[in-house]
Amino acid sequence: MWKHEGNSAMSADDWWRYGTVYQIYPRSFQDSNGDGIGDLPGIARRLDYLVTLGVDALWISPIYPSPMADFGYDISDYCDIDWRFGSLADFDALVADAKSRGLKLILDFVPNHTSDRHPWFIESRSARGSAKRDWYLWRDPAPGGGPPNNWLGNFGGPAWTFDEATGQYYGHSFLPEQPDLNWRNPEVRAAMYEVLRFWLRRGVDGFRVDVLYHLLKDETFRDNPPNPAFVAGGDPSHSLLPLYTTDLPGMQQVVREMRGVVDEFSDGESARVLIGELYLPLQRLMAYYGATKSGLLHGVQLPFNFQLISADWQAAVIDRIVRDYEAALPPGAAPNWVLGNHDKPRIASRVGPAGARVAAMLLLTLRGTPTLYYGDELGMTDVPVAPDQVQDPLERNLPGKGLGRDPQRSPMPWGDGANAGFTDGKPWLPLMAERATCNVASEACDPRSMLALYRHLLALRRRDAALNSGSYEALTGGANVLAYARTHGAQRVVVLLNFGDDDVPIAQTLLPPDAVVLASTGMDRNGSPIGASPTLRAHEGLVLATAAATG
Ligand code: GLC
Ligand code: CA
């Protein structure tokens, strides 16, 4: 069994500040029983892979009982495991297995909506006078008939569905099968905080909180204004500005309460963490770190910073993003960075194979907690899905707009055998065509593979205090070159990332004295002195330090 040797700066309290998070989309990671769907025993079987990779925490997308209208983001019981993924016993075993390897386990908490099959909603919908009526958003039709206001669902169509039996509409930010809970109701809050406690008692180390910014809606249900920037033919949910449906006043109080619940379980042994899913402009994002109380921030420890996911892939653009983000962070806040997730096209498809290596070096050398999406460490690309094979409800509802999320959810290729070692059955989504070369077993044998690069960078980040917890200093790299330094005490590393198609000379002023390459994206210069006339090759990234300082 493999176990972490520890992290240079990491203590029990702040593993989330200096560690690395790895997102597992459980349907697609490892199947253990031949039904073509990944499961908990499958994940357990691959823990050693994750230790060898060098990550610190796993975030697993939802594994609770679900009708799977939105593949687990429609939950019918918050306190159990879906039979497809296993059982509570499998879960407990996974927690124990992860802990024994020094890995943290983070669950997905989906507070905004339940499934329409959840007993709470069934009761709520049963009668206008039901005790749980106010647990969801029930409204009368508009005066002339039709939905109560103009709000739109994120997966197409109105955010309202009419319930014939009781003559009212219920609200849903996503599918009609995902009715929104009413977070203004104190009973709802109390029930949901009990859900957090249920899993915290079972030993989880924290939660990624799904669409955190959606929880509260306008108390008087005003219409959202039109979005002047909307381009016809785009995602129709973007035709309105979400003024009255997201990031409402009162959210900071909710966040403080949630944090209070996880803090009940944080002890000297280990801190429990909240990671917020927040697609918000920079200044609004910062608010979710919370206010300072006795010198500490009391919001979510890691409000997801998704800027790299949508950025134009140019050195100058990224440089600006990083500088602005660093400048906007409140004192004591932990920065974080994300390149991809189960909702967005994969980085290797966005920026190409060489660009994806530079992106990996960026993610793993910036200041802040990186979150890796499973398979990105292999250079996985989006896998096209034939129209009649589409699984994602977003693509089914709004076909052909390029919104579908199946391509980035393709099963993990573990080897070059049948079904890439993912399943003995028929995989629920098609495997990557390139799986003969893009798979764990092959890449593990190739010292220059993407996997080798990820392992090397993760090990370096773990070992090197400057990379792990050093300060960030923007440098001027020149056109197409992003340059920065990370410094911790006497230790300083310089990162140079060439986003361009041309080789460029490296200015002597950028180089640490007596510079040696700690990591090169090509994995062909590690340990070499940079030399007298140093060059950064096209689409190359380098981590440099002074030879003497590297031991
Ligand atoms: C989040 C999830 C996404 C899901 C949606 C509704 O954005 O990441 O996959 O469809 O919430 O729960
Ligand atoms: Ca299975």
**Ligand 1 atom closest to residue 174's alpha carbon, by position in its atom list:** 6
Q: Specify the pLDDT at position 386.
A: 96
Q: Specify the pLDDT at position 3.
A: 39
Cα four-point dihedral sign 372, 378, 382, 384: negative
Kindly report the length of the chain.
551
| Nearest ligand, measured from the Cα of 392 | 1
Query: HEC states along 372-434?
Result: EECCHHHCCCCCCCCHHHCCCHHHHHCCCCCCCCCHHHCCCCCCCCHHHHCCCCCCCCCCCHH
* 306 CA from centroid of ligand 1 (Å): 14
Q: What is the mean pLDDT of residues 5-19?
A: 70
* 46 CA from centroid of ligand 2 (Å): 14
Can you tell me the distance from the alpha carbon of 26 to that of 60, in angstroms, rounded to the nearest whole number? 6
What percent of the chain is modeled with pLDDT above 90? Answer: 94
Q: Is 502 a catalytic residue?
A: no
Q: pLDDT tens, 351-397?
A: 999 999 999 999 999 999 999 999 999 999 999 999 999 999 999 99
Q: Specify the pLDDT at position 4.
A: 43
Q: Compute how many other C-beta atoms are within 10 angstroms of the C-beta atom of residue 52.
A: 15
Q: Specify the pLDDT at position 531.
A: 86
Token pair in block for residue 399: 């076909």
What residues have CB less than 8 Å from 101, skipping those under 6 apart? 1, 2, 3, 4, 47, 48, 51
**Ligand 1 atom closest to residue 342's alpha carbon, by position in its atom list:** 9
Q: Specify the pLDDT at position 268.
A: 66
Query: Residue 235 is which amino acid?
Result: D
Residue 113 has pLDDT above 70, yes or no: yes
Q: What is the mean pLDDT of residues 425-438?
A: 98
What residues have CB less than 8 Å from 544, skipping those under 6 apart? 493, 494, 495, 496, 511, 512, 515, 516, 517, 518, 530
Can you tell me the distance from the alpha carbon of 171 to that of 178, in angstroms, rounded to the nearest whole number? 9
Q: Specify the pLDDT at position 421.
A: 98
Q: pLDDT tens, 398-426?
A: 999 999 999 999 999 999 988 999 999 99
If you take atom 12 of ligand 1, which residue's CA is the nearest one?
A: 73
Q: Specify the pLDDT at position 6.
A: 45
Q: Specify the pLDDT at position 8.
A: 46
The Cβ-side half-sphere exposure at 497, using a 13 Å CA radius, reads 28
* 128 CA from centroid of ligand 2 (Å): 40
Q: Compute how many other C-beta atoms are within 10 angstroms of the C-beta atom of residue 66.
A: 24
DSSP-derived secondary structure for 159-225: SEEEETTTTEEEE-SS-TTSPBB-TTSHHHHHHHHHHHHHHHHTT--EEEETTGGGS---TT-PPPP
Q: Which residues line ligand 1 (CB under 6 A)?
A: 70, 73, 110, 174, 210-211, 277, 342-343
Q: pLDDT tens, 526-539?
A: 999 998 889 999 99
| Nearest ligand, measured from the Cα of 422 | 2
If you take atom 6 of ligand 1, which residue's CA is the nearest one?
A: 73
Token pair in block for residue 479: 């056109």
Q: What is the mean pLDDT of residues 334-345?
A: 98
If you take atom 2 of ligand 1, which residue's CA is the nearest one?
A: 210
Pocket test for ligand 1, best of 60, 64, 66, 73 (most atoms within 8 A of CB): 73
If you take atom 7 of ligand 1, which residue's CA is the nearest one?
A: 211
Q: pLDDT tens, 216-274?
A: 999 999 999 999 999 999 999 999 999 999 999 999 999 999 999 999 998 766 799 99
Q: Specify the pLDDT at position 547.
A: 92
What's the pLDDT band for 89 if we cut at 50, 70, 90? very high
Average pLDDT, the chain: 96
Residue listed under structure tokens 């990557």: 432
For residue 261, give the H/E element and its range.
Answer: helix 251-263
What's the pLDDT band for 1 if we cut at 50, 70, 90? very low
Q: What is the mean pLDDT of residues 88-105?
A: 98
Q: Is 257 a catalytic residue?
A: no
- Active site residue: 219, 257, 264, 424, which one? 264
Q: Cβ(136)–Cβ(124) under 8 Å?
A: yes
4 or 181, higher pLDDT = 181
Q: Compute how many other C-beta atoms are within 10 angstroms of the C-beta atom of residue 225.
A: 12
What residues have CB less than 8 Å from 238, skipping those under 6 apart? 227, 230
* 8 CA from centroid of ligand 1 (Å): 35
Q: Specify the pLDDT at position 10.
A: 56
Pocket test for ligand 1, best of 59, 174, 392 (most atoms within 8 A of CB): 174
What residues have CB less than 8 Å from 253, skipping those under 6 apart? none
- Active site residue: 70, 210, 377, 540, which one? 210
* 31 CA from centroid of ligand 2 (Å): 4
Residue 2 has pLDDT above 50, yes or no: no
Can you tell me the distance from the alpha carbon of 428 to that of 412, in angstroms, rounded to the nearest whole number? 12
| Nearest ligand, measured from the Cα of 174 | 1
**Ligand 1 atom closest to residue 341's alpha carbon, by position in its atom list:** 8
Torsion of the alpha carbons at 123, 126, 129 and 132, rounded to the nearest 10 = 20
Q: pLDDT tens, 502-548?
A: 999 999 999 999 999 999 999 999 999 998 889 999 999 999 999 97
CA distances 492 to 304, 325, 363, 415, 523, Å, are 27, 21, 18, 39, 21
Residue 203 has pLDDT above 50, yes or no: yes
**394-398, long-range: CB within 8 Å, 24+ apart, which pairs?**
394/155, 394/156, 397/155, 397/156, 397/157, 398/155, 398/156, 398/235, 398/236
pTM (two decimals): 0.97
Pocket test for ligand 1, best of 173, 181, 211, 395 (most atoms within 8 A of CB): 211
How many helices and strands (H and E) does the chain possess? 15, 20
Can you tell me the distance from the alpha carbon of 150 to that of 301, in angstroms, rounded to the nearest whole number? 34
